[in-house]
Structure 1
Amino acid sequence: MTKTVLVTGGTGYIGSWVVKELLEMGYRVRVSVRSFNRKDKYLHLQNLPNSSNLLEFFEADLLIDGAFDNAAEGADAIIHMASPFTLRFKDPQRDLLDPAVKGTRNVLGAANKSSTVKRVVLTSSVAAVHGDNIDMKEQGLTEFTEEHFNTTSSLKHQPYSFSKVNAEREAWQINAEQSKWDMVVINPALVLGPSIAQNSNSESLQIMKVLLSGKYRFGAPELYFGFVDVRDVAKAHVLALENHSASGRYIIAERVANFMELVAIINKNFPDQYKLPKMVAPKGLLFLVGALFGLSPRFVARNVGYRIAFNTNLSRQELGLVYTPFEQTVTDMVNQFRNN
């Protein structure tokens, strides 16, 4: 019998790749959309292989109680990915925290009411593992693992990270209060790679666009991130769905790198084609001009110049994830920008 999976956030940057994977494997896929009237948001999914007979859409709003109940009934599993990823917001409570936490409560409430859902795969983030890069040093760690939770973010400092850790903690709480379905959580690092959705406004795509635009050509901040290919994040969700022994959290990262290492890959594969930074911007200067790049003094103080490390053994050993090399991820992404 064909298994049915409800995917929230399935029209997004990562979600579109998840839907593609599931359709290719023969799953019946239900995708929630905020409004049927915004066809531009989900048209790209209708062009995927097997979509004509295996894909259906449900209208649902994260903030409306019971909005996902119909879509969850009859589904064997839910992949909950819908949550705002934006660094451009006016009100962090309204624009980040409420959709993340209330949306999680709503979708998992639908899992509770469903007579068929047996597994939930939740998209969290390494932002739920740590808040600032300095956390690793302050906590006396040599690397972050799945045991760590972000305790340093707030609505005023790193509100996006605050929304992710609160949503994930809420999910674990709801999961602990029932026994009908089990849950696996995916904690990806910064996601890069090509997009299926041509009109995606994902922050990941914006970061690469800004870098290629020349905005940082006079110097890039010495910021270290975990990086991972969007296609690997999608695979991790499907592996978590299919592997019955998968449990708990999985950090998903191919490597940690800084902006200049990313620049070196672009320069190597696309020599002299972009106005890329030639040097690291001095930290002292960033305190003065950081606001131009959206960096608060506190963010600069607690992140610039601090290395981080992630232990990804569980994703490799338990999920069996084989990572795409970072250079291929970056090259494929830049090529897509060039061809559009």
Structure 2
Amino acid sequence: MKKVGIIGGSGYIGSFITKLFLETGYQVKVSATDITREDKYQHLMLFPNTENLYISELNVTDSKQLEDFVTDCDYVIHGGTPFVLDFQDAEKELFAPTINGTINFLETIQRTKNIEKVVLIASVAGWNTNFPLPAEGKDFYDTFDETDKRFTSTESHPYAQAKFIANQVVEQFIKNNSKLSFEITSVSPVAVMGKALSNREDSTSNGLQFLIKNKIVPNDFIQFLYENDVPFAMVDVADVAQAVFKATITKGLHGKDYLLSSETYKVSDMHEMLNGREPVSSAKIVYKNDLAKRDLGISFRPVKETFRNQQ
């Protein structure tokens, strides 16, 4: 029985991934930053085959703990870092942990001999740090896919810039190590939507959906979204989990970075759908998903279905 280690496996996206691997007969090791906080991962115990589930405390900045966590795993999935909008010190809270954490993770994995595959859950910010705004030179409804040039700007949110740099770190690591004993594949979801599998309240996605559903304005960023009726490219959280699963078990995807996206709707239409009403405008395809559909065999569900499942 293969074992998969999932860093962030009790989070919003990670919970769906954990459930999927348990359902399909894998041993699953999930990281917990504080193993005494059972409220953070107790929902995982409701999944099938929990006799194959292991919870291990892990501080990802601690190389020894990280090495212990991955040492008996065949596959390792890094759930990335949650989106942080409000911060005091960008360097301390965003750039250093995101970038140095990626470097530390890759170096640790390289020392672990039995690993077959590493999957990194990156972000659309690794392709366009302006998201949900278009990349420079594009309009809101100009399409974007993996053949487009990656775009970053110092005017973008520091979180997005940090994710972009972390992606560059991964690309450079792959270039510098042409004879790795394992494959590295990345997935880059756009705005992830859908109902959570837990009652945890620390999901950025659930928080954003709540704000848009109720037209709450907690900060300038959300106010900007409303005032400009910004179009959002979205993807269902269950489809992201399916893509991660396929990327993990499929060989021959080394170095690939897949955009994961379904349809794009304006914020005003998101508000309507979250309240059980029909959108005013029709769906658009902005971030294309052809590569993920071809290589991973994913069928991305319509955004209407994603929101309907939350009613």
Same fold? TM cut 0.5:
yes
What is the TM-score when the length of structure 2 is the normalising length? 0.87
Contact kept in structure 2, 1:13 and 1:200, CA below 8 Å: no
1:71 aligned to 64, 69, 91, which one? 69
CA distance in 2: counterparts of 1:157 and 1:185, whole angstroms: 22
Deviations 1:66-94 (A, max 9, x none): 32101111211111113131212222222
Query: 2:220 aligns to what?
Result: none
**Structure 1: gaps (5+ residues):** 272-277, 279-306, 336-340
Shift of 1:255: 1.0
Query: 1:46 aligns to what?
Result: 45
Deviations 1:133-184 (A, max 9, x none): 3425259x94222244544333x63111111111111122223333111111
CA distance in 2: counterparts of 1:33 and 1:233, whole angstroms: 21
Query: 1:284 aligns to what?
Result: none
Deviations 1:278-306 (A, max 9, x none): 9xxxxxxxxxxxxxxxxxxxxxxxxxxxx
Query: 1:304 aligns to what?
Result: none
Query: 1:107 aligns to what?
Result: 105
* One-letter amino acid of the counterpart of residue 183, structure 1: I
**Structure 2: gaps (5+ residues):** 218-222
Deviations 1:192-249 (A, max 9, x none): 0010121141111111111223326x95532122100000000000010112133411
The answer to whether the aligner puts 1:144 opposite 2:149 as a matched pair is no
1:89 aligned to 63, 87, 90, which one? 87
The answer to whether the aligner puts 1:332 opposite 2:301 as a matched pair is no
- Which aligned pairs between 1:271-282 and structure 2 lie closer than 5 A? none
Deviations 1:38-64 (A, max 9, x none): 11111111221111x111122111222
Contact kept in structure 1, 2:213 and 2:274, CA below 8 Å: no
CA distance in 2: counterparts of 1:94 and 1:150, whole angstroms: 25
Higher deviation after alignment, 29-38 or 227-236: 29-38
Distance 1:220 1:330, change over 3 A: farther
Q: Identity rate of aligned residues, in percent?
A: 27
Q: Of the two, which has the highest radius of gyration?
A: 1
- How many corresponding residue pairs? 296
Query: 2:24 aligns to what?
Result: 25
Distance 1:187 1:30, change over 3 A: same
Distance 1:147 1:92, change over 3 A: farther
Residue 184 of structure 1 aligns to a residue whose secondary structure is strand
Contact kept in structure 1, 2:129 and 2:164, CA below 8 Å: no
Query: 1:287 aligns to what?
Result: none
Higher deviation after alignment, 192-201 or 166-175: 166-175
Contact kept in structure 1, 2:129 and 2:156, CA below 8 Å: no
* One-letter amino acid of the counterpart of residue 23, structure 1: L
CA distance in 1: counterparts of 2:26 and 2:4, whole angstroms: 7
RMSD value, Cα: 2.5
CA distance in 1: counterparts of 2:243 and 2:27, whole angstroms: 19
CA distance in 2: counterparts of 1:138 and 1:223, whole angstroms: 14
Contact kept in structure 1, 2:128 and 2:134, CA below 8 Å: no
Shift of 1:190: 0.0
Query: 2:115 aligns to what?
Result: 117
Query: 1:264 aligns to what?
Result: 272
Residue 29 of structure 1 aligns to a residue whose secondary structure is strand
